[in-house]
Amino acid sequence: MSPPDVVVGLSGGVDSSVAALVLRDAGVSIAGLFMQNWADDGSGDCRAEDDRRDAVAVAGRLGIPIQFRDFSSEYWDGVFAHFIEEYAAGRTPNPDVLCNREIKFKHFLDAAQALGAGRIATGHYARVDHAHGRWRLLRARDAGKDQSYFLHQLGQPQLAATLFPLGDLPKSDVRAMARAAGLQTAEKKDSTGICFIGERDFRSFLAQYLPARDGEIRTPDGRVVGTHPGVFYFTLGQREGLQLGGVRGFAAAPWYVVDKRVADNVLVVDQVRDSPWLMSTTTRTGQAHWIAGTPPASRFDARAQTRYRQPDESCTVTVRDDGTLDVRFERPQRAVTPGQSLVLYDGDECLGGAVIESTDAPRTDGAAAGGSPGSSGPAPAGSR
């Protein structure tokens, strides 16, 4: 039996199912491969076996062979260990970015090539083309489903070997195609959130790896309004889960996380959604990854997203000598969060990105002169 031209990552979801359908109907020689990335932890919440059964059913319906690989050890070392380290440091990581770089477009690609395939395909909503002598990662046609943000760590070798069959399709068409083909994943609910947590409560899951450490919840001027089980359970801008009801002396209004002070285990909250303590105009990142291999220039204008599904914003990017970035936005940004990815675009083209290290949002620990956003002005980049 001759090797397939393309190996499709079949996850057991509707998107990867239709990616395989599109390629099969185009006459491409394909095989499926199911990746298990998370070992069953005994909680009963791991859906890997259900997803595996759905992937097998889809492969059978399409009449294509399917392979299986267990990447759970690689996932633990390359993705999950970093996830826990970042939360322990008070940052908010994005494991999907690392999963794509370390698992789906590294170990999966290696496995596909070992099977004799020249390329891989996934159900991601993004596009690839080749122009001016290089491969480009482009946004999907369906802007509401675009996943290029999570793929910004890919490089030229990965893009040259990758197909995104859904890049030009709206999600509504994808489900309709699955129904017409009789695929049992046609009505399957899209997976959301972090894959290894599933339907579990996030805080309960994280507590298995980061034990609770009670501390105070304070206002920016230092008044104690409650207690928390650990600053690493929260993220900047968060409203839910604070368990702050009516607080004596304060309005009956929602509270928002505006700072996480890991050193003294203090969570800082404010009752203004766009609190000045959350706003910043300058962001410093770690070392950037460029899809083309190099940045467009040492200083250039672009548009950037600082979290998934956030509208992109105009900015000026300065590439420092060590490869890190200083990014200044035209408009103040809300809750730019260390640990998340800042991803840069030129129109539909994704240029690359980097992990957010700090912003010039004012500090609440008294380190910034004046002690309040009204009197101190912005703190220097790197303040938090």
CA 352-33-117 angle, to 5 degrees, is 75
- Separation CA 79–CA 95 (nearest Å): 6
142: number of Cβ within 10 Å: 17
| 302 Cβ contact partners less than 8 Å away, ≥ 6 residues apart | 296, 314, 315, 316, 317, 344, 345, 346, 351
**Is residue 231 a contact partner of residue 215, using CB atoms and an 8 Å limit?**
yes
The residue behind tokens 């001759």 is 2
329, 324, 343: which is closest to 281 by C-alpha? Answer: 329
Verify whether residue 99 is a known catalytic residue.
yes
CA distance between the termini of the chain: 57
Q: Across the chain, where does the E strand assignment appear?
A: 6-9, 30-36, 66-70, 119-121, 126-131, 134-139, 162-163, 215-218, 224-228, 256-261, 266-270, 279-287, 289-290, 299-305, 313-319, 324-334, 341-346, 349-359
**Residue at 290: amino acid letter:** W
Catalytic-role residue among 46, 195, 315, 350: 195
The answer to whether 221 touches 43, Cβ cutoff 8 Å, is no
- Residue 194 DSSP label: -
Residue 205: CB atoms within 10 Å: 17
Active site residue 195: yes
7-32 b/e (C-beta count within 10 Å ≥ 16 → b): bbbbbbbbbbbbbbbbbbeeebebbb
Residue 101, token pair as written in the block: 């770089």
Query: Hey, which residues are catalytic here?
Result: 99, 195
